[in-house]
Structure 1
Amino acid sequence: MPGNIIMIVFLVAMIAMMWWQSKKAKQQQQEKQDFRANLQPGTEIITIGGIIGKVVSVDVQYEEIIIDSEGSPIRFSFNAISREYVRPAYVSDDEVDENGNPLPVDDDEAQTPIDQAIEAAETPAETETDSSK
């Protein structure tokens, strides 16, 4: 009896996981179809082969797209379009420490004690009043 209950629970869990995976796959497929259907000229895209270019024209009837990659127009089917291309942020190795954290900015004014900063701010004002006499 306890073995049967465990088997039923396991079977129900497997069916639920398969249903959830199927639903998730359908949602992703619908999102891709919507993206491809709404492509406009000028959008930067990347193909499944890694080619990056701007959309020149979209032919919905034949499900083809023409992109311009560095002056070379290339025709692809809608299925070859992976996603919209977003250039990754670049951070130089000189701007981060060994853990990838940003290095502090050397700003002399930010490190000046408050008393010296006040004196420095008052000094030019005093010289202007002395010269006007």
Structure 2
Amino acid sequence: MQLLAVPMASSGGGGITLLIPLILIVGMIWFMSRTQRKQRERQAQTVAALAPGTKVITTSGLVGIVEETDDEYVTLEISDGVLVQVVKAAIGRIIPDEDATADEAVETTDEVAEPVEALDPVDVPDAGRDKADGKVQDGPKLPPTHSEN
């Protein structure tokens, strides 16, 4: 019995198969940089719109009202009389005025609403208060864990 070595058929286009992954990688890098550029532009617009009295949320979740701004820092009032100075880049977003949205949502009518009578308190039976023997029942127990016998 004799074995013959037969050359494998070439798939052809060897150069193009190496070029397709390279094009995909370059495309992904371009798309990610484009997204980051848009985020930077949006952040710059947010920082440019800061004015005293604007309510903002920082990137760390701190909510406050802008008291003053300078080149690098923003002074926020986070509570009555409590001022905090943060970097402008830490401003995450501006909170729209609640007064403006509330004014749009409220419809004015000429009718005067009648006062609602006070409701009698409702007695809810077996609400965990006094039991028949005068003791308060414990809440439900959790199932035992693997360490308990």
Give the TM-score category using the shorter length.
Answer: 0.5 to 0.7
After superposition, the C-alpha distances for 1:50-107 in whole angstroms (9 at most, x for unaligned) are 11011111112xx1101111111111111221112369xxxxxxxxxxxxxxxxxxxx
1:104-119 mapped onto 2 (5 Å cutoff): none
2:86 corresponding residue in structure 1: 76
Aligned residues: 85
* TM superposition shift of 1:7: 1.9
Query: 1:1-133 to 2 correspondence within 5 Å?
Result: 1-60=12-71, 63-71=72-80, 72-85=82-95
Amino acid at match of 2:73: E
TM-score by length of 1: 0.57
Instruction: Tell me which amino acid in the other structure corresponds to 1:49.
Output: S
Task: State which structure, 1 or 2, has the greater radius of gyration over its C-alpha atoms.
Answer: 2
Instruction: Describe the SS at the equivalent of 1:53.
Output: strand
CA distance in 2 between partners of 1:7 and 1:77 (Å): 46
Shift of 1:9: 1.2
Q: What do you get for the CA RMSD once the two structures are aligned?
A: 1.8
1:93 matched to which residue of 2? none
TM-score of the pair, normalised by structure 2: 0.52
Conserved in 2, the CA contact under 8 Å of 1:43 and 1:54?
yes
Amino-acid identity (%): 26
Structure (1 or 2) with the greater helix fraction:
1
Partner of 1:95: none
- Which blocks of at least 5 consecutive residues in structure 2 are unaligned? 1-11, 98-149
Indicate the SS of the match to 1:49: coil
Closer, same or farther: CA 3–86 of 1 in aligned 2, 3 Å: farther
